[in-house]
Chains A and B, each alone.
Chain A
Amino acid sequence: MLSIVENDLGTPASRAASRVTLTIDGVPVTVPEGTSVMRAAALAGTQIPKLCATEMLDAFGSCRLCLVEIEGRKGYPASCTTPVAAGMAVRTQTPKLAGLRRNVMELYISDHPLDCLTCPTNGHCELQDMAGSVGLRDVRYGYDGANHRAAQKDESNPYFTFDPSKCVVCSRCVRACDEVQGTFALTIQGRGFDSKVSASQDESFIGSECVSCGACVQACPTATLTEKSLIDLGQPQRSVVTTCAYCGVGCSFRAEMKGEELVRMVPNQDGQANHGHSCVKGRFALGYATHRDRITTPMIRKRIADPWQPVSWETAIAHVASEFKRLQATYGRHSVGGITSSRCTNEETYLVQKLVRAAFGTNNVDTCARVCHSPTGYGLKQTLGESAGTQDFDSVEHADVVLVIGANPTDGHPVFASRLKQRLREGAKLIVIDPRRIDLVRTPHVEAQHHLKLRPGTNVAVLNALAHVIATEGLVDEAFVAARCEGPAFAKWRAFVGESRNSPEALEAETGVRAEEVRAAARLYATGGNAAIYYGLGVTEHSQGSTAVMGIANLAMATGNIGRVGVGVNPLRGQNNVQGSCDMGSFPHEFPGYRHVSDVAVRESFERAWGVPLHDEPGLRIPNMFEAALDGSFKGLYIEGEDIAQSDPNTQHVTAALTAMECVVVQDLFLNETAKFAHVFLPGSSFLEKDGTFTNAERRISRVRRVMAPKARYADWEATQLIAQAMGYPMNYAHPSQIMDEIAALTPTFTGVSYEKLDRLGSIQWPCNEAHPDGTPTMHIDAFVRGKGRFMLTQYVPTTERVNAKYPLLLTTGRILSQYNVGAQTRRTPNNMWHNEDVLELHPHDADERGIADGDWVGVESRAGDTVLRARISDRMQPGVVYTTFHFPESGANVVTTENSDWATNCPEYKVTAVQATRVSQPSEWQKRHEAFTHEQLSLLRGARQTAPR
């Protein structure tokens, strides 16, 4: 069922610039060339009956309802497949057409259960609407003939049902799966009367290749594919546009509500990041927002072994302020700090860094981008002058070559992956650089031209080898480089990458990639037309993360693949607001807009606005905070929305640091892993409960809109404001829009941003200022932000994390489609049906050598620690490399990872840990301790819940 408020025009919009005038029922209509007659009529206010057509899909022409008459043409063409032509005269309503349409509808209705009054889509069913539209009054064939009304319902998917008795075999679901999602999981099985929609090889939906993106459910014109929430709750009454709180694609959704209850999330057709598509998380995995585990009462305790004591907000806030003042009086001003999450809004992260800098008087503030994309901020600032991706997502439609390195878009950024696959099916070439055979390497109708299956930790070597080929085979775009880049830096770089030690042949033994494959990939990237690079945490989470980012920017500059549509450097941000949290001054050395705290003019502008003197030295980064806590100089931490005890590397190091602090304040929806070490718990608000903005991977600022009241009384920004007030610092915002106004006033790249403009334009890609009043889809068009682009030297430095006899395997970690980050949200949804535990993927050879069978318990040991995971044997791994995810705390994936980090930013080296894997029969010692500790902490929480004020 489509959104309750969207008006479907039947076929996609034409992008042609030229316009055509025709008449429809005698009325002149002017539309872009290539528009269908159906859409032209709809734009003119005439709805032609339709069933198989929807503007989310290409025209199909199968239902025969949308027939029209066209002057001078024979027969009754389908208006969905007929493009407009100049001077065309179309009639949509004639007695002959009415008769034909009624005949068609009679056939449909003769094989349809007439249970409209009890049907979940009653009133929003297109079949029902069409029956009314064509004036169907009786069915001459009766209802007793052969029919599908007894067809069995498939309720296997946790989020939607498939009721074939209501199916009209319009193929919209099949086409949505093919064209929009690109999974090709559905098909029409059988012929004629026996035709039916089938998932994979006539399997249940849950057992099929379906990825539950929801495109088929949205496309279905009847109640055949229907959200279970819609069936359970009834139809929504209102629809509010908001932004998904999962990955960095930042999909726009319509939250369809019934009072204060969320009935369903429907991807917004007008959404500029997702254009009406979604994934299983954003579309369906919302149950966490109302999960019973949510804590809605503030709690305090003196020691982490004490029971939680439920208190009023006033008491909790006063306690936080009192403790932080005490700590600063005792241990010094810089003994406290704050951390935000990329799951927070821009306004929230801005406010926390303001609280820390202005009210605490220190720069000890950081954000979880520290552990994911901080190298992007550093690397792109050094080379291009701005810490952000260069394109919008639409740009991929103009790419001829796509290089994906260290990213797994089909799992991590599924909606963008669908766009990418569309372009690849159209013929764009694909280069994948990844240790694993990710799904994108070979997926329906898509196959990578080159998969450089490198050894973990050798990204920079491969990037240098690619650069060597470009520099030595005459593939440099000399004119671009001469006009746009710093000459001396380029000359130095050219000499460096041209050295024989950087040739593919010299590096082959180190990277494990055949030199000829590297050369072919480099030639394709440099000469294949518009070439775009997309990268993820497989680039940044290394000891040379920042070097690799600079290596990527070097490649783009050297080949002139930057500064226009279809090319560029595109970091795929892990979480929804990674870009935004970085923009908002969450790093300890930078004010909002990436300006260093030592910059006197910038600092003075904030001092004037905030009314206090500000510190001019960089503060502690997250891992530095841990070290300082362990040496006794860092004692208090305010953590909003982040779960460092699960997500950060070397868990035992992190928990030791948390234990060493005297006041840990966690503001979150749930008692997460970090909260188990906290002294104050402040209940957080979900994205459904607050106003704000998120900024996605394409620098797109989108509104988050409150659709229900905060379940714990305050939205997160209000809690931060209360702490500031209690600390004696005045913060008196009445609404997040006022926070954005302050951001705009103080940040040159945000000058033109306001809630009013966001409401008007839908979203804005920064920079948005006087020069770019409506935002900037493509950056660095005429010049780089820093003026001339700067080539940086990127010497390959092997990580110190090397395999040896004790630890002969390399562990790399990542994520999967159905779970998200630490899993706090998705683990509390039926998404667990697809992934209910983290597993260790290993190659059959490595498994065989160790006597490990699929499903066995495997001990994974590194120099940091050990844990036990279930084995999954997979030939998508290369021998010597194992893989796991970190979605479940009990897995202890980060017990194994080390505190090795990127040289420039301290982003952890999650992607390379030397380990040994051994078949075992019981959990690790850490897991046993974790289970006991969790049990103890939950019992301390249960006591508080029983006494919490209602």
Chain B
Amino acid sequence: MNVERLVQMANDIGRYFAAEPDREEAVAGIAGHLKRFWEPRMRTAILAHLAAGGEGLDDLARAGVERLATL
């Protein structure tokens, strides 16, 4: 999968949840969205990217992907 594109998509999701005043809820929301809507190979790719440093991921999106790793 095109990781650059996945990073952009993850950041877009993160920017939606950024409005949520409770950061914990926002992080859970991002992770839940990724789990619910991303096909496994996409999740695997973004997790691998995170493991490799996660370049390009915004702070909140990164937190969401980190949470995804635990689901």
Q: Write the residues of chain A forming the contact surface with B, with a CB cutoff of 8 angstroms.
A: 334, 363-364, 492, 496, 543-544, 546-547, 588-589, 596, 598, 617-621, 624, 627-628, 630-631, 633, 793-795, 797, 899, 901, 903-906
Q: Interface size for chain B: under 10, 10 to 19, 20 to 34, or 35 or more residues?
A: 20 to 34
The CA-CA distance from A621 to B2 in the complex, in Å, is 14
The chain A residue with its CB closest to the CB of B5 is A627
| Bound complex: CA A633 to CA B36 (Å) | 21
> Do the beta carbons of A588 and B39 come within 8 Å of each other?
yes
Q: How far is the CB of B18 from chain A (nearest CB, A)?
A: 7
A-B pairs with beta carbons under 8 Å apart, 15 shown: A334-B39, A589-B37, A617-B39, A624-B39, A624-B42, A627-B2, A631-B1, A631-B2, A793-B20, A794-B19, A795-B15, A795-B16, A901-B9, A903-B12, A904-B16
B33 lies within 8 A of chain A by Cβ: yes
Interface of B is mostly: helix
In the complex, A863 Cα to B67 Cα: how many Å? Answer: 34
Chain A residues, Cβ within 8 Å of B21: 492
List B residues 38-64 near A (Cβ within 8 Å): 38-42
4 tightest Cβ-Cβ pairs between the two chains A and B: A795-B19, A903-B12, A793-B19, A797-B15
- List the A side residues contacting B39 at CB < 8 Å: 334, 363-364, 588, 617-621, 624, 628
Complex Cα distance, B40 from A121, in Å, reads 63
Tell me the complex Cα distance, A624–B12, Å. 16
B13 at interface (Cβ–Cβ under 8 A)?
yes
In the complex, A589→B9 CA distance in Å?
A: 17
CB distance from B9 to the nearest CB of A (A): 7
The answer to whether A904 touches B38 (Cβ under 8 A) is no
Given contacts A496-B19, A589-B37, A905-B37, 7 further A-B pairs with CB under 8 A are A546-B16, A617-B39, A618-B39, A621-B39, A795-B18, A797-B12, A903-B13
Which residue of chain B has its CB nearest to the CB of A631? B1
Q: B: which residues have CB within 8 A of A?
A: 1-2, 5, 9, 12-13, 15-16, 18-21, 33, 36-42
A619 proximity list for chain B (CB < 8 A): 39
- Name the CB-closest residue of A to B38: A618
Interface residue from A598, A633, A901 paired with B41 (Cβ < 8 Å): A633
Question: What residue of chain A has the Cβ atom nearest to residue B26's Cβ?
Answer: A793
A904-B13 contact given A618-B38, A794-B19, A795-B18, CB 8 Å threshold: yes
For A496, the closest partner residue in chain B by CB is B19
CB-CB nearest in chain B for A598? B36
**Bound-complex Cα distance A3 to B16 (A):** 53
Known: A596-B36, A633-B41. A627 touches B1 (CB 8 A): yes
Whether B9 contacts A903 by the Cβ 8 Å rule is yes
Residues of A within 8 A of B36 (CB): 589, 596, 598, 618
- List A contacts of B40 (CB < 8 A): 617
Residue on B nearest A588 in the bound complex, by CB: B39
The distance from the CB of A342 to the nearest CB of chain B, in whole angstroms, is 20
Contacts of B42 in A (CB 8 A): 620, 624
Give the distance to chain A from B45, nearest Cβ to Cβ, in Å. Answer: 9
Complex formed: what's the CA distance from A503 to B61 in Å? 28
Residues of A within 8 A of B9 (CB): 901, 903, 906
A618–B37 touching, CB < 8 Å: yes
The answer to whether B16 and A797 have CB atoms under 8 Å apart is yes
Interface centre among B16, B38, B41 (most CB of A within 10 A): B16
A687: min CB distance to chain B, Å:
32
Tell me how far the C-beta of B52 lies from the nearest C-beta in chain A, rounded to whole angstroms.
Answer: 16
Which among A546, A899, A903 has the highest number of chain B CB atoms within 10 Å? A903
Closest CB-CB distance, A259 to chain B, in whole Å? Answer: 49
Complex contact A903–B2 (CB within 8 A): no
Give the CA-CA distance A794 to B18 in the complex, in Å. Answer: 10
Contacts of B1 in A (CB 8 A): 624, 627-628, 631, 633
Please give, as numbers and ranges, the residues of chain A lying within 8 Å of B38 by CB-CB distance: 618
In the bound complex, what is the Cα–Cα distance between A419 and B53 (angstroms)? 57
B5, B16, B20, B41: which contacts A903 (Cβ < 8 A)? B16
How far, in whole Å, are A617 and B38 apart by their CA atoms in the complex?
9
What residues of B have a CB within 8 angstroms of the CB of A628 in the complex?
1, 39, 41
A588 to B40, CA, bound (A): 12
Q: Which residues of B contact A363 (CB under 8 A)?
A: 39
> How long is the Cα–Cα vector from A701 to B37 in the complex, in angstroms?
28
Separation of A901 and B13 alpha carbons in the complex (Å): 11
A543 to B18, CA, bound (A): 15
A906→B38 CA distance, assembly (Å): 11
Residue of B nearest to A362 (CB): B39
B residues within 8 A CB of A906? 9
Residue numbers in B under 8 Å from A624 (CB-CB): 1, 39, 42
Q: Please, which residue of chain A has its CB at the minimum distance from the CB of B2?
A: A627
In chain B, what residue has the closest Cβ to A798?
A: B15
Chain A residues positioned under 8 Å from B33 (CB to CB): 904
Could you say which residues of chain B place their CB within 8 Å of the CB of A544?
Answer: 16
**Bound-state Cα–Cα, A596 to B32, Å:** 13
Verify B20–A630 contact, CB threshold 8 A.
no
**Minimum C-beta distance from A396 to chain B (A):** 32
Complex formed: what's the CA distance from A364 to B2 in Å? Answer: 18
With contacts A627-B2, A631-B1 taken as known, whether A903 is within 8 angstroms of B15 at the C-beta atoms is: yes
Instruction: Using CB atoms, name the residue of chain B closest to A906.
Output: B9
Q: A618-B39, A619-B39, A624-B42 are in contact. Are A630 and B18 (CB under 8 A)?
A: no
Q: Are A630's CB and B13's CB within 8 A?
A: no
Report how far A363 CA is from B39 CA in the complex, Å: 9
* Residues of chain B within 8 A of A627, CB atoms compared: 1-2, 5
Residues from chain A with a CB closer than 8 A to the CB of B13 are 903-904
Chain A residues within an 8 Å CB radius of B41 = 334, 628, 633
Partner of B2, one of A617, A630, A793, A901: A630
**Which residues of B are found within 8 Å of A588, using beta-carbon distances?**
39
Residue of A nearest to B19 (CB): A795
Tell me the complex Cα distance, A34–B58, Å: 66
Min C-beta distance of A634 to chain B, whole Å: 9
Taking CB atoms, residues of chain B closer than 8 Å to A630 are 2
- CB-defined contacts of A492 to chain B, threshold 8 Å: 21
Cα distance A618–B38 in the bound complex, in angstroms = 6
A237–B70 Cα distance when bound, in Å, is: 68
Alpha-carbon distance A363/B41, docked complex (angstroms): 13
The smallest beta-carbon distance between B36 and chain A, in angstroms, is 7
Chain A min CB distance to B68 (Å): 13
A728 to chain B, nearest CB (A): 25
From B5, B9, B12, B38, residue with most partner A Cβ within 10 Å: B12
A620 to B37 alpha-carbon distance, docked (Å): 9
Give min CB distance, A215 to chain B, whole Å: 45
CB proximity of B64 to chain A, nearest CB, Å: 12
CA distance A361 to B55 in the complex (A): 35
Q: Tell me the nearest residue of chain A to B16, going by C-beta.
A: A903
Min C-beta distance of B31 to chain A, whole Å: 14
- Chain B nearest CB: distance from A261 CB in Å? 47
State in angstroms the CA–CA spacing of A630 and B37 once bound together. Answer: 20
CA distance A906 to B9 in the complex (A): 8
- In whole Å, how far is A471's beta carbon from the nearest beta carbon of chain B? 15
A residues in contact with B18, CB < 8 Å: 795, 797
CB distance from B57 to the nearest CB of A (A): 14
Residues in A whose Cβ lies below 8 Å from that of B2: 627, 630-631
The complex places the Cα of A901 from the Cα of B5 at a distance, in Å, of 11
- The listed residue with most A CB atoms (<10 A of its CB), out of B15, B33, B39, is B39
Q: What is the bound-complex CA distance between A866 and B46, given in angstroms? A: 31
**Chain B residue with Cβ nearest A615:** B40
Residue of A492, A589, A630, A793 most packed against chain B (CB within 10 A): A793
CA distance A794 to B17 in the complex (A): 9
Residues of chain B lying within 8 A (CB to CB) of residue A905: 37
Q: Which of A624, A633, A904 has the most CB of B within 10 A?
A: A624
A50 to B19: give the CA distance in the assembly, Å: 65
Residue of chain A at shortest CB distance from B22 = A492
Q: How far is the CB of B44 from chain A (nearest CB, A)?
A: 11
With beta carbons under 8 angstroms apart, the residue of A546, A547, A618, A899 that contacts B5 is A899
Which B residues lie within 8 Å of A598 (CB)? 36
Residues of B within 8 A of A364 (CB): 39
Whole-angstrom distance between the Cβ of A463 and the nearest chain B Cβ: 13
How long is the Cα–Cα vector from A904 to B39 in the complex, in angstroms?
14
